[in-house]
Amino acid sequence: MPTLIDRNGPRQDHWSCFQDAQAGAAPPAPGAQLILSLAQWKLHAQALLAAGARLGICLEPAEGPEEIAGLLDRVELLAVRFPAFTDGRGYSSARLLRQRYGWTGELRAVGDVLRDQMFYLARCGFDTFDLADGESVQAALAAFGDFTETYQAAADRGPLFRRRAQPTAPVASR
Amino acid sequence: MYIYDEIDQALVDERVAQFRDQTQRFLTGQLSEDNFRPLRLQNGLYIQKHAPMLRVAIPYGLLASRQLRKLSAIASKYDRGYGHFSTRQNIQFNWPALERVPDILAELATVQMHAIQTSGNCIRNITTDQFAGVAPDEVTNPLVWAELMRQWSTFHPEFAFLPRKFKIAISGSLQDRAAVLVHDIGLLAVTGETGETGFRVIVGGGLGRTPMVGHVINEFVAWPHLLTYLEAILRVYNRHGRRDNKYKARIKILVKDRTPAVFAQEVQAEWEHLRDGTSTVTAEELERIRGRFTRPAYRTLPGTDAYIDTMRAGQPAFARWLERNVHAHRVPGYSCVTLSLKKTGVPPGDVTAEQMQGIADLADEYSFGELRVTHEQNLVFADVETRRLHSLWQAVRELGLATPNIGLLTNIISCPGGDFCSLANAVSIPVADAITRRFDDLDYLYDIGEIDVNISGCINACGHHHVGHIGILGVDKAGEEWYQITVGGRQGNDAKIGRIIGRSVARNEVAEVVSRLIDVYLERRDEAHERFIDVVDRLGLEPFKERVYAHLD
């Protein structure tokens, strides 16, 4: 079973992935928390929302944040899937969601999520991490501290040179 | 030299700790080979034919004598007593033991060096002109920009897992000496209409399997926008570059598929969101970086030197070295000197640990303790007093690094080839050696004049064969080594990809083929200063083809 963590430790996962087989079955209990693929969203979101479910969307690497920009006020969670940790498209998706589309809710990394990428994932704006099978929670948590500084801007902070120039002033992040 | 501050140092130290942990996990079976591979590559570590190969970064080719001494010590302690300078201004060690690589990286960190992002599908070492900062024709000193980009690209969280490797080169001069047209991104410094410095941005060049000259996608990006513009290019590539086929994953394929014009529009659209944002470069930051580069304390000297002129007149060997290996400097009384790593009998780019010590001593004595690595696999002392050239020449000769062949046929660019590299189809170094031996006569070499001969052991083109005036590519035919010959390639502002002249030839025929190409050139040139490449342009390939294959068939 994958383990869900945030920066502080393991987290209870209240969300489950919507299964296509659920579509024809009984409506979900009010308040059920379901993560849908983009394809599932298009087919079932309306009915599920009407039934009182709380919804999230999981993007595949090839699905751009542009495609869900208009849906953000109707979802409570966004996830981006990494089919392999070497597929880096999800990093761009995360930054765009955070920095261009203003998503402030939970942004979850799912799939081949490994400790060695924790630092980069967090910098790009992910705040929960569905660790791949066999990954150590403790090691993953430690990996957030792999580096004490960062040169370039990302979703978490501006570039080092702006922080050097104005150590206390907040930096508008774009 | 750029001198690290505490943050620069901390990041390199933390990287050593991170990689030590990763290596430990691999060795104890907690990290699979597949999962370790991308991590070790981003620390320059390949698993090669005989042993791992470690590629150490020499950012933009700039090296201090104390760093070279450390490389020498590493070559002696962890390797077999030598290193190989690559065409991307890095140094490679061919025999380190995997479990000792973290120790090597720790030693490198003590002299502000590392192997970060020297391989893998990420932004690689940023390369530039070996005469950066001292060339007379410079618009801006590219070292400052290269360091700015080094920091921006180091551990960039969004671009650590690109579709494929990504190489950036920058030229601060109008005369391109950094091969900017054959990089994923090439930057050429230009002065804008209002006198402001900016960069012409070239995208999608590259060698390898599908050689291409890059396309200009923006004639002028003003300097404050450099990083945001790069970020826009990288983001378009990261999102849309092909990931289904590693041979079609470089940005050049995306640019070609989209067309350069459409690609440029996509970059522009992305950039509109980023421009003037937080990554906009500030004058303060440029000044800060510039201030961390040591500056040579030049003396006030006359522009000409009677002593050197006398020695030149009296010693033809010295005169030849001055002609080929000494280059103009912007400060009167100073010269740039190339140390040739292309001596007959020595693999191109190879230096022994003893030579490294000797070179480091000479750098201290003659060139403010610094040197540069060139993409042609030679070394440069950038700040030598002209009046001391004769004594430097004598010292360099003793080290075997004074071969006066820069720009000439035996200044061969070559990858390590099948002797070392597991990717190679064929050997490179023995081929380079056979050619060098055939053209060992200096009078003949000088008569032939300027020509670039480049050799790659496989289609990955680490030896830049496509842009050699004569290019030699090792290919595999049913388990045997064969060599494809191209003619007419070139680097620089008019970079071109060479054309194949015909069927591949056997290894023992390559030197003969080069001889025949040269024979045609010598017979057909109009005058001594018409170069090989000029004759190829004037006559086309036919006369060369005819001669090469007439008797070989």
SS (H, E, C) B308-346: HHHHHHHCHHHHHHHHHHEEECCCCCEEEEEECCCCCCC
Task: Tell whether domain B6-109 is in CATH 3.30.70.360.
Answer: no
Q: Are A174 and B277 spatial neighbours (Cβ–Cβ below 8 Å)?
A: yes
**Mean per-residue pLDDT, B468-483:** 93
Q: Is the model's pLDDT at A169 over the cut of 50?
A: no
CB atoms A91 and B162 under 8 Å: no
Domain B127-291 shares a fold with domain B413-552: yes
Looking at per-residue confidence, does B345 or B298 come out higher?
A: B298
Predicted confidence at residue A172, as pLDDT, reads: 47
Pairing type for strands B370-373 and B62-64 reads: antiparallel
Digit-coded pLDDT (tens) for B34-50: 999 999 999 999 986 66
Instruction: Kindly identify which residue of chain A lies nearest to residue B228, measuring between CA atoms.
Output: A153
d(CA A95, CA A77): 15
Report the candidate in B436, B412, B403 with the shortest Cα–Cα distance to residue B323: B403
Predicted confidence at residue A1, as pLDDT, reads: 59
Digit-coded pLDDT (tens) for A53-84: 999 999 999 999 999 999 999 999 999 999 99
Q: Is the ipTM of this complex over 0.90?
A: yes
Which residues of chain B are within 8 Å of residue A114 when distances are taken between CB atoms? 35
CB atoms B158 and A114 under 8 Å: no
Contact A101/B at CB under 8 A: no
Mutant choice from A152, A157, A166, A173 vs B, greatest count of B C-beta within 10 A:
A152
CB atoms B238 and A150 under 8 Å: no
Report the candidate in B238, B258, B244 with the shortest Cα–Cα distance to residue B153: B238
Q: Are B98 and B54 spatial neighbours (Cβ–Cβ below 8 Å)?
A: no
Q: Is the model's pLDDT at A29 over the cut of 90?
A: no
Which residues of chain A are within 8 Å of residue B152 when distances are taken between CB atoms? 151-152, 159
Place of tokens 């009010």: A30
Task: Tell whether domain A3-165 is in CATH 3.40.50.
Answer: yes
Superfamily assignment of B127-291 in CATH?
Sulfite Reductase Hemoprotein, domain 1 (3.30.413.10)
Which among A100, A120, A171 is the nearest to B273, CB-wise?
A100
Report the candidate in B269, B149, B255, B152 with the shortest Cα–Cα distance to residue B210: B255
Chain B residues contacting A via beta carbons under 8 Å? 7, 10-11, 14-15, 18, 22, 35, 38-39, 121, 151-163, 227, 235, 238-239, 243, 273-274, 277-279, 281-282, 284-285, 288
**Element holding A37 (H helix, E strand):** strand A33-37
Which among B38, B158, B273 is the nearest to A86, CB-wise?
B38
Which residues of chain B are within 8 Å of residue A164 when distances are taken between CB atoms? 285, 288
Contacts of B301 (CB under 8 A, 6+ apart): B332, B333, B334, B385, B386, B387
d(CA B70, CA B402): 23
How many angstroms separate the CA of residue A78 from the nearest CA in chain B?
18
CB atoms B18 and A146 under 8 Å: yes
Rounded to whole angstroms, what are the CA distances from B486 to B212, B404, B499?
15, 26, 5
Domain ranges across chain B: 6-109, 127-291, 306-398, 413-552
pTM here is 0.94
Q: Are B406 and B375 spatial neighbours (Cβ–Cβ below 8 Å)?
A: no
Report the candidate in B469, B377, B484, B470 with the shortest Cα–Cα distance to residue B426: B484
Mutant choice from A66, A87, A92 vs B, greatest count of B C-beta within 10 A:
A92
Supply the CATH classification number for the domain B306-398.
3.90.480.20
Q: Are B454 and B465 spatial neighbours (Cβ–Cβ below 8 Å)?
A: yes
Mutant choice from A98, A151, A157, A164 vs B, greatest count of B C-beta within 10 A:
A151
What does the buried/exposed string (b/e) look like for B57-83 if buried means 16 or more CB atoms within 10 Å of the residue's CB? bbbbbbbbbebbbbbbebbbebbeebb
**Mean per-residue pLDDT, B234-250:** 96
CB atoms B238 and A92 under 8 Å: yes
Digit-coded pLDDT (tens) for B158-213: 999 999 999 999 999 988 999 999 999 999 999 999 999 999 999 999 998 889 99
Categorize the per-residue pLDDT at B305 as very low, low, confident or very high, splitting at 50, 70 and 90: confident
Indicate the CATH number of B413-552 among 2.40.160.20, 3.30.70.20, 1.10.150.20, 3.30.413.10. Answer: 3.30.413.10
Which among B7, B15, B160 is the nearest to A120, CB-wise?
B160
Contact A134/B at CB under 8 A: no
Percent of chain B clearing pLDDT 70 (strictly above): 99
CB atoms B160 and A88 under 8 Å: yes
Contacts of B149 (CB under 8 A, 6+ apart): B126, B168, B170, B226, B227, B230
Contact A133/B at CB under 8 A: no
Categorize the per-residue pLDDT at B416 as very low, low, confident or very high, splitting at 50, 70 and 90: confident
Digit-coded pLDDT (tens) for B103-156: 999 999 999 999 999 999 999 999 999 999 999 889 999 999 999 999 999 999
Which among A95, A117, A174 is the nearest to B278, CB-wise?
A174
CB atoms A89 and B238 under 8 Å: yes
How many angstroms separate the CA of residue A149 from the nearest CA in chain B?
7
What mean pLDDT value characterizes chain B? 95
Categorize the per-residue pLDDT at A174 as very low, low, confident or very high, splitting at 50, 70 and 90: very low
Tell me the one-letter amino acid at A45.
Answer: A
